[in-house]
Amino acid sequence: METLSRFLVFMSLFSGLVSGFTLQNLPITSFEESYMQLFGDKNLFVHKDGKSVRLTLDERTGSGFVSNDLYLHGFFSASIKLPSDYSAGVVVAFYMSNGDTYEKNHDEIDFEFLGNIRGREWRIQTNIYGNGSTHLGREERCNLWFDPTEDYHQYSILWSDFHIIFYVDNVPIREVKRTSSMGGDFPSKPMSLYTTIWDGSKWATNGGKYGVNYKYAPYIARFSDLVLHGCAVDPIEQLPKCDEGAIEYIRAAQEISLSERAKMEVFRRKHMTYSYCYDRTRYKVSLPECVVNPAEAQRLRVYDPVTFGGIPRRHRSGKHRSKRSRTDGTVSI
């Protein structure tokens, strides 16, 4: 009963954006105490400090690790440095999932980093699934204002019972608010945190046009400043148990502050290249949780009038090559 009461108090405060947090006041966890290897044999390497990890993709295999615990809500973060040079087809993922526990109705919150050909930048794709709703893609894609291969940058997920916020270097880039119309599509079951690098040649770069070229292998992704700050689910009591000091470290507000919302709007205006809410080739009517921003819609229509304006695509010959889609329902653009 005490555990449940503590959790309810925590979540009453954790209902909005983390305000004024930095990595300096959040606990950094070591690999040994918080994670275990998922796959990849020797392609996973933990540095001597115990808090930095290297994942490698080569011709043999990719690699990955997963948190020891399941979590129901929290703040999850890592500083990541992506592979440089030719990286087409390479996917680096930092995400939450319970697919191993709920095979047919799993939840997911995704950061996926999609490699590219030489001279083209990496792209970020964010997505969420709830209750196995993989037939409804809720992807957004964006470019970055820096080169993610030159240095470490912080990528974070804030997940509460009411909303999900994605951050890059403490700048909110996407907010998903829970609405009654979403029903079970909003992630609501305990999840583990996963970090992987793998071969996504069939879809990741230009719909599979450019695949992984192992002439440029090994592809190395580096991780540090690993933060697991939330409510781990006790395997016996089946109740979330919040980190000691979580309330002290994290102050939550009901809404994103005006200054942070302004930063998010600037980011989306300059760097967002795709949003499912405006995709008229997939959804003739936007999904019910979408709040359409007229300026955002107009900018995307100019960027891609076929996808975002519903204009039929013209074909120069009788041959038609349809978009390839991932088996989980994600459409590559």
Fold of 31-255: Jelly Rolls (2.60.120)
What integer pLDDT is reported at residue 137 of this predicted model?
A: 87
Structure tokens at 73: 């809500």
Give Cβ neighbours of residue 5 (< 8 Å, ≥ 6 apart): none
What integer pLDDT is reported at residue 64 of this predicted model?
A: 98
pTM of the entire structure? 0.86
What integer pLDDT is reported at residue 246 of this predicted model?
A: 54
DSSP assignment of 117-166? STTS--EEEEEEE-TT-TTS---EEE--SS-TTTS-EEEEEEE-SSEEEE
| Positive or negative: CA dihedral 268, 272, 274, 279 | positive
What integer pLDDT is reported at residue 24 of this predicted model?
A: 53
CA 112 – CA 231 distance, rounded (Å): 24
108 is catalytic: yes
Rg (CA), the chain: 20
What integer pLDDT is reported at residue 18 of this predicted model?
A: 47
What integer pLDDT is reported at residue 313 of this predicted model?
A: 62
Domain boundaries defined on the chain: 31-255
2 is catalytic: no
Q: Identify the active-site residue in 32, 59, 103, 108.
A: 108
Structure tokens at 215: 């002439």
Q: What is the pLDDT along the chain (333 residues), one digit of tens a residue?
A: 444 444 444 444 444 334 445 555 678 989 999 999 999 999 999 999 999 999 999 999 999 999 999 998 888 999 999 999 999 999 999 999 999 989 889 999 999 999 999 989 999 999 999 999 888 889 999 999 999 999 999 999 999 888 899 999 999 999 999 999 998 899 999 999 999 999 999 999 989 999 999 999 999 999 999 999 888 998 777 788 776 555 454 445 346 888 999 999 999 999 999 999 999 999 999 998 998 899 999 999 998 999 998 777 665 444 433 333 343 444 443
Please give the single-letter amino acid code of residue 167.
Y
Q: Identify the active-site residue in 2, 103, 112, 248.
A: 112
